[in-house]
Structure 1
Amino acid sequence: MIITIVAGARPNFMKIAPIIDAIKEQQSKGIDINFRLVHTGQHYDKNLSDTFFEELNIPFPDVNLEVKSGTQAEQTAAIMLGFEKDLKQNPTDLVMVVGDVTSTMACTIVAKKEGVKVAHVEAGIRSGDLRMPEEINRMVTDSLTDYFFTTSKYANSNLKKLGFDDDQIFFVGNVMIDTLRKNEERLTEPQLWKELGLKSKAYMVMTLHRPSNVDEENQLKALISQIVELAKDYPIIFPVHPRTKKLLQDLDLNFENLHYVEPLGYLEFNYLVKNAFGMLTDSGGITEETSVMNVPCITLRENTERPETCEIGTNVLVGNDKNKIEQAFAQLLSGNWKKGQIPELWDGNAAKRIVEHLIKIYKLN
């Protein structure tokens, strides 16, 4: 059996790493299962791609489609053109896509039109917000998928409501957490730790990338100004791209306790998160990791495709609501943040379950 695994953007790399490890483990047992890795090039900055392959011991891709940036339509079209050509030249038994980025949707469409079955890892999650490109990617991908590997029972329920059969849906857990568990002892103190004089649980980390937060200048300025004021004496570490950094500085968003830093690799970034007093983000994936690491997380979004991080994890949704943001900071600074629990099957073995299910489906021996 040959599986073509697709990765395109930073979150994908963290999800494919344990899957590749699980395939190699089965190969060592004599199981006839092989993989081919396709990198679409959707993220092409070294800190967003090459570094992750090196840090997470992922083999370098068999091909990089090098689509790079563009509008949603331009990027989707470029991925589809490149992947169609590659798939014709390299026949496969199954295309495996992960997450909800443009590459996930585009490669799923190509595979199905080529008559190849698709497995979707992290299937079935929904925010209900069609303003998010990722939500559209999820909906299109799942409408075409043959095998659904899910992170939660919420996702299972979403898929069953859409009419998919139980024998297509496999609740396996969270491959992001597989990668976190494997690398917890390898997390690396970044150089900025000493440069900024950081101490464990005495600073906060912030990431922002959603258009609803960063595309409107007045909204962005008001949001960051409020966060900086509410954080009081806590330094805020803000990994940000140089282009975005220039925008922020042009808006005069320069504060003594706000530190713009370069994008970090996986091991350094998660070292910061693990030791942070609190996390401020509009990322879905980070809310999963903070829940497992029991780090308070204030999510600057009105909705989430990962409700388990709010219901039993450490995550609280505040959107852009000034009152909710203020209330969340008050709770955080008073030391009364809720103590989260780890969701079911987020135990570091999701990838092994995925590969074991595929072996049974394809009756490999």
Structure 2
Amino acid sequence: MKIVTILGARPQFIKAGSVSREIGKLRDRGENIQEVLVHTGQHYDANMSDVFFEEMRIPKPDYFLGIGGKSHGEMTGQMIEKIEKVLINETPDWVLVYGDTNSTLAGAIAASKLKIKIAHVEAGLRSYNMAMPEEINRILTDRISNALFCPTQKAMDNINSEAYKEWNFSTEAYLCGDVMLDGALFYKKLSQKPTDLKVDRKFVLCTLHRAENTDDINRISQIIDALSIIAQEVDVILPLHPRTKKVIEKFGLNTDKLVIIDPVGYLNMVWLIDNCKLVMTDSGGLQKEAFFFGKHCLTMRDETEWVELVDNGFNILVGASKDQILKNYYSADFNNDFSINLYGDGKASYSIIKTLQKYQFGKLIHD
């Protein structure tokens, strides 16, 4: 079995790394399985050097397409064209895509036109905010995929409510657990404290990069004001994305009370999550990683795809309201029982690959 995996951003490589390691184990046992990695170049990341792949135990891409820094339409169109050429050359049994980026959608479209089976990891996630490009990408990718790997029961419920069984081709959905949990368990033992970071007390870990916050002067001002108040009693560590840094400078916002550091690698981020007292973020993945490491989270967004964290009291949506951020920081009634199983048993990657191996002639052969 040959799999072509389409990736476009560093977080996708980290997720895919767990699956790639399982493929490597099976191949070492003599199983006939091959993976070809394609990096579209959607997000340029200076941290993704050869050292990144070595430290993260992730295979280097076999193809680098160099497509990035363009409008959504131009980027997606060029990706489809170049991915199609790779697929014609490689003739895989499966195209494997992750999440909700333009690379995800482009890989799925290119494969569907060539009648190659598509597997979507993180299928079924919904924010119900169609203003988000990611929401469009994930819905369309689900619609044309053959194997839908859902990380949570809620994601599975979403797929079932959309009547996927009535779609016009053979589609199967699976509750497999979350590959991010696989990665968190693997990388925890490899985590590293950021070299230049000096912390003498418990700290809050914060990330801030989503356009809905950074492009709105009112939202980002309220967030920075709230963080600055919190920073009077506890260190607030903010690895600052260059784009967010430019916005803060443009608006003349005062971040003197915050511990601003450069963006960190994943092993550093795992250390920060594992050692903080609370996570505050507008990221998607970091909400889950907080839960994996037994940390509560205040999410500075108006909605989240990870509703089970909110429903079970581990995560609170505070939007960009200074009052809501401070109110919940000081008096939130969080759930402290992290033993609940929301994301599987840390073996999602193995489950995904073994499921793909059961397909024959375009249809799943059940045990």
Alignment TM-score, normalising by the size of structure 2: 0.91
Distance 1:48 1:239 in 2: 17
* Other-structure match for 2:57: 57
SS in 2 for 1:352: helix
Pick the aligned partner of 1:189 from 167, 189, 193.
Answer: 193
Which residue does 2:164 correspond to in 1? Answer: 164
**Per the alignment, do residues 324 and 221 of structure 1 end up closer, same or farther by CA in structure 2, a change over 3 Å counting?**
closer
Q: Which residue of 1 is the match for residue 78 of structure 2?
A: 78
Match runs of 1:134-283 below 5 Å: 134-165=134-165, 168-193=172-197, 197-199=198-200, 202-283=202-283
Q: Deviation of residue 318 (structure 1)?
A: 1.1
Match of 1:191, SS state, is coil
Q: Which amino acid aligns with 1:190?
A: P
- d(CA) in 1 for partners of 2:9 and 2:49? 7
- For 1:349, the equivalent position in structure 2 comes to 347
2:105 is matched by which residue type in structure 1?
M
Please say if residues 207 and 240 of structure 2, whose CA atoms lie closer than 8 Å, have aligned partners that are also in contact. Answer: yes
| Residues 307, 274 of structure 1: alpha-carbon distance in 2 compared, 3 angstrom cutoff | same
Equivalent residue letter for 1:358 = L
User: CA–CA distance in 2 between the matches of 1:34 and 1:183?
Assistant: 24
Deviation at 1:125, TM superposition (A): 0.7
Structure 2 residue aligned with 1:124: 124
Q: Deviations over 1:95-146 (max 9, x none)?
A: 0001111110111011101111100001001011111111111111001010
Separation (CA, whole Å) in 2 of partners of 1:327 and 1:242: 29
Task: Give the superposition deviation at 1:303.
Answer: 1.0
Report deviation, 1:224. Answer: 1.0
Paired amino acid for 2:58: I
Number of aligned positions between the proteins: 356
RMSD across aligned C-alpha pairs, in angstroms? 1.9
- Per the TM alignment, residue 246 of structure 1 is displaced from its structure 2 partner at its CA by 3.1
Normalising by structure 1, report the TM-score.
Answer: 0.92
Q: Aligned-pair distance for 1:264? A: 0.8
Between the two proteins, what is the percent identity of the paired residues?
Answer: 35
2:323 is equivalent to residue 323 of structure 1: yes
Partner of 1:305: 305
- CA 1:144/1:109 → structure 2, altered by over 3 Å: closer, same or farther? same
2-side partners of 1:100 and 1:52: how far apart?
Answer: 23
Cα gap change, 1:41 to 1:340, in 2 (>3 Å): farther
Confirm or deny: 8 A CA contact 2:282 2:300 kept in the other structure. yes
Higher mean C-alpha displacement, 237-246 vs 82-91: 237-246
| AA aligned opposite 1:192 | D
Q: Distance in 1 between matches of 2:77 and 2:153?
A: 33
Change over 3 Å in CA distance of 1:4–1:301 after alignment to 2:
same
Where does the alignment leave 5 or more consecutive residues of structure 2 unmatched?
A: none
The answer to whether residue 335 in structure 2 is matched with residue 338 in structure 1 is yes
User: Deviations along 1:270-304, whole A, 9 cap, x unmatched?
Assistant: 11111112111111111111011111210011111
Aligned match of 1:37: 37
8 Å Cα contact 2:312-2:335 kept in structure 1: no
Give the letter aligned to residue 339 of structure 1. Answer: N
Cα 1:128/1:27, change in 2 over 3 Å: same
Q: Given the alignment of the two structures, is residue 361 of structure 1 paired with residue 362 of structure 2, yes or no?
A: no
CA deviations 1:308-347 (Å, max 9, x no partner) are 2222362111112333212211126xxx543142434532
Which structure exhibits the higher relative contact order, with contacts defined as CA atoms closer than 8 Å and separated by 6 or more residues? 1
Mark the CA change 1:41 to 1:60 in structure 2 (over 3 Å): closer, same or farther. same
Q: CA deviation at 1:36?
A: 0.5
